């Protein structure tokens, strides 16, 4: 395992030292780390597999997601919904639940042997969008700024909204496995409320204290940057102490911290203050992509699973697009823009984290489907959204025909 860590850190250092040059030849960080992870997976698959399903690995993954959720919640510009409340609220609170339901139904038809909680985990793995594997989309000049902004804001929120559903599904195969549906829901509701309280207290308290210490000259230039990394970790740990959902706590802490720290719900944090957390978040994400590459080798070494592959393809191409089109009816977006929003939905870091956590939580007889579904949707996202989708979407939106 020590050798794997050395190799991973070496690859991270080399990527960090050559990031700009790699991007010039269209080699994104996730792609480079994925390729190196695949190589390590081929050379040391057995050792990596024995270390993957451990409590330590699970905690590392959870802390990474807590940090990313917090950062996403603080980075939305122009108010809580980025100035696009009507469109984004439809995407988050109508289209995404419908997509989760569609994924659950599709999974039950294609994978009838899986239990309800496992199917719910799969839905949570394959639906949240993330532009890490396809960041060129958000910089593509031919795609309108408004569309890119809507997609960016939506992807910043959806994993935070899906995470409590995922944690609830995981708990149904764990300590709540013996409870009936009503008891499990009540137990989960209490855990959510405690998590919300932890996130609001920690995030709001940190934002309030930082505003005060800056006003009286006690805070340094680094204080805000340090807080952006430490607050999500504190909120996650505090929630876990009361057996609550640490992901919900970190996500809500980010929302409240941004509002209290900025002085109003429409205030944005200074980019200089969020830069350190952005860098740390990107660094840990790159490590996650390296691990994903090694896991992909392990997954496909189990052979082709047509039902899981079809499930992943449907999730990426259909199960998001149809609900988005339905929920954006009579919206301010033109038809071609609605199609673009529905089509441009790569899966990335959130899917990887949820896939790893599901693998750790499930017994050996059920732990392959989450990893397999995760691998299919993320690999397809890299290929489809990193290469094919940007020019096709730009051509679609440039057309003057259609509404």
DSSP secondary structure, 302-330, as one string: T---HHHHHHHHHHHHTTTHHHHHHHTTT
Task: Tell me: pLDDT of 190 over 50.
Answer: yes
pLDDT digits (tens, 9 = 90+) for 206-246: 999 999 999 999 999 899 999 999 999 999 999 999 888 89
Task: Report the pLDDT value the prediction gives residue 131, as an integer from 0 to 100.
Answer: 83
Report CA 112 to chain centroid distance, whole Å: 27
Average pLDDT over residues 382-398: 71
Mean of the pLDDT values across residues 249-268?
A: 86
Query: If pLDDT is split at 50, 70 and 90, which confidence band does 49 have?
Result: low
DSSP state letter for 80: T
Q: Which residues contact 47 (CB under 8 A, 6 or more apart)?
A: 1, 3, 4
Length of the chain, please?
A: 403
Given a cut of 90, whether residue 367 has pLDDT beyond it is no
Indicate whether 267 pLDDT > 80: no
Q: How far apart are CA 204 and CA 238, in angstroms?
A: 14
Percent of the chain clearing pLDDT 90 (strictly above)? 41
**Dihedral of CA 218/221/226/232: which sign?**
positive
- Residue 400 binned pLDDT confidence (cut-offs 50, 70, 90): very low
Res 403: pLDDT:
46
Give the pLDDT confidence score for residue 385 in this predicted structure: 81
* Confidence label for 47 from pLDDT (cuts 50, 70 and 90): low
Per DSSP, the residues of 9-43 read HHHHHHHHHTHHHHHHTT--HHHHHHHHHHHHHHH
For position 291, what pLDDT does the model report? 86
| Angstrom distance (rounded) from CA 25 to CA 399 | 29
pLDDT, mean of residues 82-100: 93
Each residue of 3-38: pLDDT tens digit?
Answer: 677 888 898 999 899 988 987 887 778 888 888 888
Task: Please give the pLDDT value at position 402.
Answer: 45
- Contact call for residues 189 and 182 (beta carbons, < 8 A): no
What count of other Cβ atoms lies within 10 Å of the Cβ of residue 321? Answer: 19
Show me where the domains of the chain are located. 27-397
- Which pLDDT does position 54 carry in this prediction? 61
What's the CA gap between 343 and 346, in Å, rounded? 9
d(CA 183, CA 191): 12
Query: Which is higher by pLDDT, 45 or 383?
Result: 383
CATH topology of domain 27-397: Na+/H+ antiporter like fold (1.20.1530)
Which has the closest alpha carbon to 165: 221, 201, 126, 132?
Answer: 126
Band of residue 270 on the pLDDT scale cut at 50, 70, 90: confident
Question: What pLDDT band is residue 196 in, cutting at 50, 70 and 90?
Answer: very high
List the single range of 181-190, 216-225, 314-323 with lowest mean pLDDT: 181-190
Mean pLDDT value across residues 352-367: 86
Cβ pair 70, 250 in contact under 8 A: yes
Tell me, what's the pLDDT at 399? 58
Confidence of residue 313 (pLDDT cuts 50, 70, 90): very high
* Window from 261-270, 311-320, 363-372, 378-387 with minimum mean pLDDT: 261-270
pLDDT of residue 257: 94
pLDDT at 178 over 80: no
Residue 182 has a CB neighbour count (10 Å cut-off) of: 8
Q: What is the mean pLDDT of residues 296-324?
A: 93
Mean of pLDDT values over 359-385: 87
Closest CA to 261 of 87, 83, 397, 73: 73
Whether 133 shows a pLDDT value over 90: the answer reads no
Q: What is the mean pLDDT of the chain?
A: 86
- Note the pLDDT tens digit of each residue in 134-168: 777 777 767 788 888 899 889 889 988 998 899 88
- The pLDDT of residue 324: 96
């Amino acid at each position: 395992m020590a050798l794997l860590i050395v190799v991973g850190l070496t690859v991270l250092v080399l990527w960090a030292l050559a990031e700009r040059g790699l991007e010039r030849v269209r080699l994104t960080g996730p792609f480079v780390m994925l390729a190196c992870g695949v190589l390590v997976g081929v050379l040391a698959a057995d050792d990596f597999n024995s270390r993957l399903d451990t409590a330590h690995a699970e905690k590392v993954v959870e802390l990474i997601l807590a940090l990313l959720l917090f950062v996403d919640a603080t980075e939305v510009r122009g108010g809580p919904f980025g100035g696009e409340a009507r469109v984004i609220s439809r995407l988050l609170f109508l289209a995404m639940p419908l997509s989760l339901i569609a994924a659950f139904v599709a999974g039950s038809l294609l994978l009838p042997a899986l239990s309800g909680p496992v199917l719910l985990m799969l839905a949570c793995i394959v639906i949240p969008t993330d532009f890490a594997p396809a960041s060129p989309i958000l910089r593509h000049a031919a795609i309108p700024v408004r569309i890119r902004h809507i997609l960016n804001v939506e992807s910043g929120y959806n994993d935070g909204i899906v995470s409590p559903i995922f944690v609830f599904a995981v708990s149904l195969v764990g300590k709540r496995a013996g409870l009936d549906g009503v008891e499990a829901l009540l137990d989960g509701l209490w855990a959510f409320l405690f998590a919300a309280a932890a996130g609001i207290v920690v995030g709001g308290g940190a934002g309030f204290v930082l505003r005060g210490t800056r006003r009286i000259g006690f805070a340094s230039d680094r204080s805000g940057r340090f807080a952006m990394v430490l607050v999500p970790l504190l909120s996650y740990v505090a929630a876990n102490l009361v057996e609550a959902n640490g992901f919900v706590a970190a996500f809500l802490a980010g929302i409240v911290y941004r509002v209290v720290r900025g002085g109003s719900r429409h205030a944005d944090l200074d980019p200089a203050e969020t830069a350190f957390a952005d860098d740390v978040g990107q660094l840990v994400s790159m490590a996650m992509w390296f691990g994903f590459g090694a896991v992909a080798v392990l997954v496909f070494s189990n052979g082709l699973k047509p039902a899981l592959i079809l499930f992943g393809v449907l999730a990426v191409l259909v199960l998001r697009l149809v609900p988005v089109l339905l929920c954006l009816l009579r919206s301010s977006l033109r038809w071609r823009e609605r199609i673009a929003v529905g089509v441009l939905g790569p899966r990335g870091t959130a899917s990887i984290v949820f896939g790893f956590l599901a693998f750790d939580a499930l017994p050996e007889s059920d732990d392959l489907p989450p990893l397999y579904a995760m691998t299919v949707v993320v690999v397809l996202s890299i290929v489809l959204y990193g290469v094919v989708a940007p020019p096709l979407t730009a051509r679609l939106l440039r057309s003057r025909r259609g509404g």
